[in-house]
Structure 1
Amino acid sequence: MRFVRFELEGNEGLAVENNGSLRGLLVNDPEFPGTLDALVGADGSGLAAAGETLACGKTISREGIRYLPPFSRASKILCVGLNYHDHSAESGYAQPKYPTVFARFNSSLIGHGDDIIRPEVSDTLDFEGELVAVIGKGGFKISEQDALGHVIGYSIFNDGSIREYQHATPQWTIGKNFDSTGAFGPVFVTADELPAGCKGLFLETRLNGQVVQRANIDDMVFSVASLVSILSQTMTLEPGDVIVTGTPAGVGAGRKPPLWMKSGDVCEVEIDRIGLLVNSIRDEVAVGREAA
């Protein structure tokens, strides 16, 4: 199933997508089955039933809705850096033998169609198209063989990075958590709709219509199954946890001269059989003026 979380006239809603059309319900509808955070947080046991209920709901017009990140209350958003050989090379790093893990926080997330905000303090805003895996069944010390059984579905992420701040300290977290830089969505696709571990699917990032990143998910150094297993060796993974699996080569920081995103740019991240995440870039200064 394909789920879309949205806002309509101030109310949150959830819909299922079928052949491009949306049917769903709002939180104030008596039949509303719950948010994705709640459904997946309950081991995903009610997800199929929720999908059937939503499919009998109202027709939702895309024109009137604001897309929301599929999940906004994950207990952990675990991001993986340097997970493609070519990206490690362009970034000047030797390929790590262990995943490079950093945290994202819910306060940085935005949905499809929202503006990625370039902060006033830096012009080094970079793009990173990535596959997202969502945990549906929790566990500790999960074997790689069993790991994909713990993944309930997938989505798309644009890990907007302020490179100046990312590299200001040995830890990357500060440059990865500016408000309104983590674009997430527009859909959450259950694992049964896709190849195991999204093997064979292609990821492509476009900036103003020009392809800047293109890679096969198979090119990841640490596969989805490997990441789930490795992460679970040190921490208990919980239903609803989000794993952002890394970006391939082509980022702006790896180019000569660097290619930073600027106000008015449009960045698209597309993954086969999952969907298309689109966001425009807007300066924080412009946002401030508008608020004033």
Structure 2
Amino acid sequence: MTKFATLRIDGATRAVRLDGDAHVDLGCTDLGAYLAGSPADEKAGTTYPVEGADFAPVVTYPSKIICVGHNYKNHIQEMGRELPPYPTLFPKFAETLIGAYDDILKPEETDRLDWEVELAVVIGKQVRRASETEAAAAIAGFTVMNDVSVRDWQFRTIEWTQGKIWEGTTPVGPYVVTPDEVGGVRPALNVSTTVDGVVMQSDDTGTLLFDPVFLVEYISTIIALKPGDIIATGTPAGVGHARDPQVYLVEGETVVTAIDGLGFCRNRVVK
């Protein structure tokens, strides 16, 4: 299985490939630089142990992170909305991203912090106005994202961004797995969220309303997608905000967002 990651090592970050019980240095500072074709440096080929690895976000500073809302039918229904004819898009920024096992920093301004497991697409080559074939070829792989949402700020207005871009709240990783290892560019993978061991979300990416290839086509029509860019494809039913009564993350809880074949993010909520 081909898996890539970005590790924190000696105060810096390094792009690596998983090779058995070791991570092999790819000669670049992060996976985004590797995908963009940056020349390998003198650390290429250095190995690091898998045990105790400190995972950074898979791409530390993507040029853009585009998220998709309302993309699982059951989640759309639980939020009381109609199926959209086009993808609902909003941005995130690099400062929101944290590693797969880092703590989630709960903003002091909210008590409505919510979980959202998402299949995330990592772009491997630049595309603009991509055809279906070009869009498929531009997908370097998939990873796990928890699109943590600050619900009270999200719904202050009809535009969601302010509830989606809080610094240090969005785990992504641990690995980027190539499409050939998970059934292709339109994978059908089980996704789940647990909070302190209690299952909150469980679904299958095969039920996405807009699949990864279509999203690359659609978004690249608007703006060029570059190596290392991330597309978060949306979350299934089971978010805390839609429950009755509503449930939100609190300090001290551990939230695990997992996708079969890709791994999981395990994060403790801290002040």
For Structure 1 versus Structure 2, the TM-score category normalised by the shorter chain is over 0.9
Structure 1 residue runs without a partner (length 5+): 26-30, 284-292
Give the match for residue 138 of structure 2. 150
Structure 2 residue runs without a partner (length 5+): none
Q: Aligned in 2, Cα 1:238/1:8: closer, same or farther, shift over 3 Å? A: closer
Give the match for residue 243 of structure 2. 255
- Any idea what SS the aligned residue of 1:6 has? strand
1:148 and 1:196 in contact (8 A); partners too: no
Give the match for residue 23 of structure 1. 23
Take 1:238 and 1:156, find their aligned partners in 2: how far apart are those partners?
19
Q: Aligned in 2, Cα 1:130/1:214: closer, same or farther, shift over 3 Å? A: same
Code of the residue aligned with 1:57 in structure 2: it is: T
1:80 and 1:246 in contact (8 A); partners too: yes
1:157 and 1:244 in contact (8 A); partners too: yes
The answer to whether 1:243 aligns with 2:210 is no
The partner residue of 1:57 within 46, 49, 66 is 46
Normalised TM-score (structure 2): 0.92
- Any idea what SS the aligned residue of 1:279 has? strand
State the Cα distance separating 1:204 from its structure 2 match: 1.1
State the Cα distance separating 1:197 from its structure 2 match: 2.1
Percent identical pairs in the alignment equals 34
Take 2:83 and 2:31, find their aligned partners in 1: how far apart are those partners?
35
Code of the residue aligned with 1:232 in structure 2: it is: S
- Any idea what SS the aligned residue of 2:118 has? strand
Deviations along 1:94-135, whole A, 9 cap, x unmatched?
A: 121110000000011100111111111110000000011011
Give the match for residue 124 of structure 1. 112
Deviations along 1:5-27, whole A, 9 cap, x unmatched?
A: 111332323332244x23234xx
Does 146-155 or 95-104 show the bigger shift? 146-155
Give the match for residue 40 of structure 1. 35
Code of the residue aligned with 1:176 in structure 2: it is: K
2:240 and 2:248 in contact (8 A); partners too: yes
Matches within 5 A, 1:84-103: 84-103=72-91
Deviations along 1:120-171, whole A, 9 cap, x unmatched?
A: 1110000000011011122222123442111111111000000000011111
Deviations along 1:66-99, whole A, 9 cap, x unmatched?
A: 2100102211100000000111111122121110
Number of aligned residues: 268
The answer to whether 1:138 aligns with 2:133 is no
State the Cα distance separating 1:4 from its structure 2 match: 2.2
Deviations along 1:208-254, whole A, 9 cap, x unmatched?
A: 11111111111100001111111122222222211001000000001
1:141 and 1:234 in contact (8 A); partners too: yes
Code of the residue aligned with 1:205 in structure 2: it is: T
Normalised TM-score (structure 1): 0.86
Q: Aligned in 2, Cα 1:260/1:142: closer, same or farther, shift over 3 Å? A: same
Does 220-229 or 182-191 show the bigger shift? 182-191
Take 1:13 and 1:60, find their aligned partners in 2: how far apart are those partners?
13
The answer to whether 1:66 aligns with 2:54 is yes
Which of structures 1 and 2 has the bigger CA Rg?
Answer: 1
Give the match for residue 5 of structure 1. 6
